[in-house]
Amino acid sequence: MSPQPETFFLERIPTPIGLMLVLSDGGQRLRAVDWEDFETRMHRLLRTQYRKQDIRLRDAAQASPARRALDAYFEGDVRAVDTLDVATGGTDFQRQVWRALRGIAGGAPITYGVLADRIARPTAVRAVGLANGANPIGIVVPCHRVVGANASLTGYGGGLHRKRWLLDHEARWCAGRQA
């Protein structure tokens, strides 16, 4: 007997840096965040992470908690996404990296090496980078807060222009809180 299909509810949210796609499940847990121009990648990540499940997408009938928190994030409340309930597929290692990403404070980017140290896997820098790149829940699981060893902006699934904008947005928020 094949497993019951799981339905994820899709919202398309306008942001200052493009139309964002947000997927939540029936329990209001956030499953994916991506950009409309990278929708193909989002579907590929979903197939990879949920390969044994039949995932169906439906348009959301009402605003999810994720949408409300992401709207607040883009309006300047960077911490609004910190407590959102998320659920992911992926391997145990990927989920470990993604949990660690949620511990990176807004406005305080770290390197891949520091992230590897935080999960007690200092020699797994490349694997950490690969897990970071497979993160299905951008912004909320803030993979954009990881930079190269020399603080350079390295790859971001939504494009480097978005990574730069997100980091600048968070830096402005931090500066405003300290003023």
pLDDT tens profile 77-112: 999 999 999 999 889 999 999 999 999 998 889 999
- Spatial contact of 128 and 121, defined as CB atoms under 8 Å apart: yes
Question: 174 or 20: whose pLDDT is higher?
Answer: 20
Which residue has 């970071």 as its token pair? 132
Catalytic residue check, 143: yes
Catalytic residue, candidates 42, 78, 86, 143: 143
Pick the CATH number of 92-178 from 1.10.10.60, 1.10.10.10, 3.20.20.140, 1.10.420.10: 1.10.10.10
Residue 1: band (very low, low, confident or very high) from pLDDT cuts 50, 70, 90:
low
Per DSSP (E only), the strands in 16-72 are 18-25, 30-35, 55-59
pTM over 0.75: yes
For position 27, what pLDDT does the model report?
Answer: 95
For position 135, what pLDDT does the model report?
Answer: 92
Question: Which residues lie closer than 8 Å to 7 by C-beta, 6 or more apart?
Answer: 25, 26, 55, 56, 57, 58
pLDDT tens profile 40-49: 989 988 888 8
For position 146, what pLDDT does the model report?
Answer: 95
**Mean per-residue pLDDT for 60-88?**
95
What are the structure tokens assigned to 39, written together? 């929708």
Q: Whole-number mean pLDDT of the chain? A: 91
